[in-house]
Amino acid sequence: ALLFSSQASANTLNSLKDKRYEIEQKKTELNQEIKEKENNIQSNQTKQEKILDQILALNKEIVSTETDIADLRADINETNTEINAMEKDIKELEEKIANREALLNDRLRAVQVSGGSISYIDVLLGANSFLDFIDRLSAVNTLMEADRSIMNEQAKDKVAKEKKENELEDKLTLLEKDRVELIALKANLDSQKADKTTLIDELEEE
């Protein structure tokens, strides 16, 4: 009986040792799992912070791009206003030039109708008296001054028209350049917003 009792105690002790070993093993495994989970959490938090930083950086880029788009639209509107003003100025100059051309053509036709031989000298030589000569000289001077003034104004307006047309061409080139840049900025903005959406989805998943 003593032998049996001693053997039973030994078996119980061995069983307890085995249980303790199993518990220690499980404890070790659990500690490893906990450490692994903690590492995963730390890694996940680091990844989230990195994604968040990317989102914040993208937000700044989006704001900057939107500001560039707003500025460019303002420039385009201003350029359009300048173009409209230039086109109006050019039209007015064209009308002035056309009116003077018509006036000069009328004078030329009048000379041709009268035989084409009338000149300022003929007018002066046709005077009947000294008083008539003075009157004719005054009239000739007035006509000559008027012709000179018309020709000068015509020349100045033609130069002004050419200058305005060159400026208009430059403005139209600038407008086209701004429009192309605006399209590129809009595409860039769409891309930035798409990247931001992707990062937000990734952040939510993490």
Question: What is the C-alpha separation between 99 and 117, in angstroms, rounded?
Answer: 25
pLDDT at 154: 83
Share of the chain above pLDDT 70, in %: 81
Q: Which of 16-20, 43-47, 123-127 has the lowest mean pLDDT?
A: 123-127
Mean model confidence pLDDT for the chain: 84
pLDDT at 93: 92
pLDDT at 2: 55
* 3-class DSSP assignment, residue 127: coil
Contact 185, 139 (CB under 8 A): no
pLDDT at 82: 93
Would the pLDDT of 122 be above 80?
Answer: no
Per the rule left: phi > 0, alpha: psi between -120 and 50, beta: everything else, 129 is beta
pLDDT in tens, 58-79: 999 999 999 999 999 999 999 9
> Taking the model in full, what pTM does it have?
0.62
pLDDT at 7: 67
Would the pLDDT of 166 be above 70?
Answer: yes
168-172: long-range contacts at Cβ-Cβ below 8 A with a sequence spacing of 24 or more? 168/83, 168/86, 168/87, 168/90, 171/79, 171/82, 171/83, 171/86, 172/83
